[in-house]
Chain A
Amino acid sequence: MGKKQIAVILGLLTSALTVDAGVAWSQKAPIKIGFLAPVTGGGAAVGKDMTNAFTMSLEDIGMAYQGLSYQMAGRRVEVIIEDTQGDPAQALTKLRKLVESDNVHIVAGGFLASEGYALAPKIDEYKIPTLFPVVSADDLTQRKPVKWLVRTGWTSSQPNHPFGEYVAKTLGYKKIATIAMDYAFGWEQVGGFQRTFEEAGGQIVQKLWPPLGTTDFGPFLAQIKRDANAVFAVMVAASALRFPKQYQDAGLKARLPLIGGGTTLDEFVLPSLGDEAIGGITPLIYSAALDTPANKRFVSEFRKKYGKVPSYYAETCYTAAHWIHEAVKMVGGDVENRDKFLAALRKVEISDAPRGPVKLDAHGGPIQNIYVRKVEKKDGELWNTVVHTFPNVSQFWKYKPEEFLKQPVYDRNYPACKYC
């Protein structure tokens, strides 16, 4: 190595040091954010949307340190992404790692309801502020509240409460058969829908529960009652990819309109579906087709960067980073004071998230718009056109929280099927 090269290297080092010393904030330790996502395993595709959107959001919030690092309120931000494999025990191990080994100030992420339930007691034990942008199990903000949890995503039954009324009154269906994945997520969605639909005068005439992982729906489709007006389906990921085609092939699409839970026809599966999905109506907290400046910007930026339309997993994780940013600003970067930080996280209100305005209710569940969406084809692509918006819907819909919480959580047999 020549003398000249050494001089250059030394020069670079000194300049780096002076830059470091010149900026006051860089001397303070960084804000550490732990992010849990299923990077491998069955949920890997979802995990990719989650981590992509979260890091994109952090870039939007601002880069510092010569564009090499994220920043919030003048402090450097470090993100540690950990793989849960969609396994609750693994999620727990990773939470331990983030809190005990990395000393993070806040944790965000999680995918399955089981992960949420596994993490919940540990979150309170560690007293670590935690955001759940995706985990939607009802009881985490209802009957089994978690003090240190801030749910910025949704509850499973939330979109289906207004949707039940909408289907009975606006769409005018009177008799509906349901077919839903046989686990808590499916039960809570069907339960929420059944409650408001029947209170508005409708009748659930049949409930079918294909087990998780079903790929051939033929035996279930053959059972659907002929006197129903429509079919309400709750599918997720792999089953959602197959269901609409089989529904059409069984000759049902022409006769019984397909409606359902939001994930049945969300942006995560639409690109892989064909014309069989057109006309399906589902409610969710987000649609990529929302015509607001914030959403248009989000969709075009996400598409440019990752080559796909953002799903609700992407939107909720994108908003989660902004949520953290707002709270960090509120406490002036002092995230070490955990009580203050948690209080700030609970107070955050975001008025221009891609999905619209979001804030928390007294139970830590988000109050947000619910969009009734219809699948339409535009320029050769399938989009969830918003046909109706229910503004500021809480997890309790129109019921009083105290009375709502007295009933058990929705499950396979609750509410009972009176008209089956």
Chain B
Amino acid sequence: MRLARFYEQPLMAIIVFLLLIAPPPFVSSFLLTLLTQALIYAILAMSLDIILGYTGLASLGHAAYFGLGAYSVGILATRYGAGFGVALPVGILVAVLVAAIFGLVALRATGVYFLMITLALGMVVWGLAHRWVTMTQGDNGISAIPRPDLGLPWSLTFSIPFYYFTLAGFLIAFSILRMIVRSPFGQTLVGIRESESRMRTLGYHVWLHKYIGFVIAGGFGGFAGVLWAYYNGFVSPVDLQLATSVEVLLMVALGGRGTLVGPALGAGIIVLLKNLVSVYTHRWLLILGAVYILTIVYAPEGILGAIKRRPKEMKTKAIGVPGLPEEEI
């Protein structure tokens, strides 16, 4: 049943690509900044999905890597006048290193214990941002971070060039993540999610695979943070607090975990809902809450999960044999 894969068909990909590349000249500059914000959050949500959706480990500390990337840029750019060429690799590297250390601690546990440990580790980074005032300026945050100068004829201070800059970042992140989840390595992650013991019996080094997945997720979280710092020109402890981690978790859950397109979609929906609904009513949190509840009740696998499931059910009924776990994306 090809319908199940309609969003993977080349035609669909082209339409989505056009939808992403076309809007700037036609939409208002405010909507464009929201779309930019949505793309950045989409990268963050996709990176979380590597551990949450593919590996099956729910983390409540993912904002830490986002914050590490953002703070690296903030500190390097305002203190040392570092350019994009330095800030980008350092931001990602810092996130990767911290994820490599945190992974050693967190991956000793699974399930709710993993959740608690990642939460605690996330709070450690938050505390550092909050209390290491000489470096991070504490609660006040780091402001006046200049937009990167790439030597292009279009200054990134304007919203249209910066949108395309972010879009390029998003497409790169999406392609690499897609490659990873489709690779044999990505398949082992899914295998671990489905049955860790079976994977172990088959001779896979389960822990190492989880660890690599965890570090990759951290690295891309850091990449999103780098873009975020340039986008806002400002970083504060709010960016890596628990509420941010929870919000990203909700983006993944809303869009559909275990798919890359889902979390990106979820990020877009939440960013737009949050900012557009709050224009019309100050009770916007009620609406956002209702969306979450409806998703959990009617589409526990997220929006994309629901779309995927329907044709699959039909197929199972028709053939009368439970289908094998399908290839995931």
Residue from B31, B138, B143, B233 in contact with A183 in the complex, judged by beta carbons closer than 8 Å:
B138
Taking the closest CB of chain B, its distance from the CB of A208, in whole angstroms, is: 15
Beta-carbon contact of B143 and A184 below 8 Å: no
Alpha-carbon gap, A400 to B143, bound state (A): 28
Is A19's beta carbon under 8 Å from chain B? no
Residue from A81, A120, A411 in contact with B143 in the complex, judged by beta carbons closer than 8 Å:
A120
Alpha-carbon gap, A137 to B139, bound state (A): 11
Alpha-carbon gap, A92 to B138, bound state (A): 18
Is A66's beta carbon under 8 Å from chain B? no
Alpha-carbon gap, A88 to B139, bound state (A): 10
Is B236's beta carbon under 8 Å from chain A? yes
Beta-carbon contact of A118 and B141 below 8 Å: yes
Is A248's beta carbon under 8 Å from chain B? no
Alpha-carbon gap, A120 to B233, bound state (A): 11
Is A201's beta carbon under 8 Å from chain B? no
Residue from A83, A89, A96 in contact with B282 in the complex, judged by beta carbons closer than 8 Å:
A83
Taking the closest CB of chain B, its distance from the CB of A406, in whole angstroms, is: 19
Residue from B29, B139, B143 in contact with A212 in the complex, judged by beta carbons closer than 8 Å:
B139
Question: How many chain B residues have a CB neighbour from A under 8 Å?
Answer: 30
Alpha-carbon gap, A40 to B233, bound state (A): 24
Beta-carbon contact of A40 and B282 below 8 Å: yes
By a CB distance below 8 angstroms, the chain A residues around B273 are none
Beta-carbon contact of B141 and A88 below 8 Å: yes
**Binary interface encoding of chain B residues 207-245 relative to chain A, with 1 for a CB under 8 A from any of its CBs, else 0:** 000000000000000000000000011101011000000
By a CB distance below 8 angstroms, the chain B residues around A96 are 29-30, 33
Beta-carbon contact of A40 and B285 below 8 Å: yes
By a CB distance below 8 angstroms, the chain B residues around A242 are none
**Binary interface encoding of chain A residues 1-31 relative to chain B, with 1 for a CB under 8 A from any of its CBs, else 0:** 0000000000000000000000000000000
**Binary interface encoding of chain B residues 272-301 relative to chain A, with 1 for a CB under 8 A from any of its CBs, else 0:** 000100110010110000000000000000
By a CB distance below 8 angstroms, the chain A residues around B159 are 100
Once A100-B28, A100-B30 are accepted as A-B contacts, the answer to whether A184 and B282 lie under 8 Å apart by CB is: no
Taking the closest CB of chain A, its distance from the CB of B163, in whole angstroms, is: 13
**Binary interface encoding of chain A residues 73-100 relative to chain B, with 1 for a CB under 8 A from any of its CBs, else 0:** 0000000011100011100110011001
Residue from A40, A117, A184 in contact with B234 in the complex, judged by beta carbons closer than 8 Å:
A117
Beta-carbon contact of A113 and B234 below 8 Å: no
By a CB distance below 8 angstroms, the chain B residues around A87 are 238
Interface bracket on A: 20 to 34
Alpha-carbon gap, A269 to B293, bound state (A): 35
By a CB distance below 8 angstroms, the chain B residues around A101 are 28-31
Question: Which residues of A90-132 are within 8 A (CB) of B?
Answer: 92-93, 96-97, 100-101, 112-114, 117-118, 120-122, 125
Taking the closest CB of chain B, its distance from the CB of A78, in whole angstroms, is: 14
Beta-carbon contact of B144 and A100 below 8 Å: no
Is B160's beta carbon under 8 Å from chain A? no
Is A174's beta carbon under 8 Å from chain B? no
Beta-carbon contact of B239 and A89 below 8 Å: yes
**Nearest neighbor of B239 in chain A, beta-carbon distance:** A89
Is A39's beta carbon under 8 Å from chain B? yes
Is A245's beta carbon under 8 Å from chain B? no
**Nearest neighbor of B285 in chain A, beta-carbon distance:** A40
By a CB distance below 8 angstroms, the chain B residues around A32 are none
By a CB distance below 8 angstroms, the chain B residues around A329 are none
By a CB distance below 8 angstroms, the chain B residues around A120 are 143-144
Is B140's beta carbon under 8 Å from chain A? yes
**Contacts A/B (CB < 8 Å), 30 sampled:** A39-B282, A40-B282, A40-B285, A81-B282, A83-B282, A83-B284, A88-B141, A89-B232, A89-B236, A92-B234, A93-B37, A96-B29, A96-B30, A97-B275, A100-B29, A100-B30, A100-B159, A101-B29, A117-B140, A117-B141, A117-B143, A117-B234, A118-B232, A118-B234, A125-B157, A137-B140, A183-B138, A184-B140, A212-B139, A411-B133
Known: A40-B284, A89-B238, A184-B140. 9 other contacts (CB 8 A): A88-B234, A93-B34, A93-B37, A96-B29, A97-B30, A113-B139, A113-B140, A183-B130, A212-B139
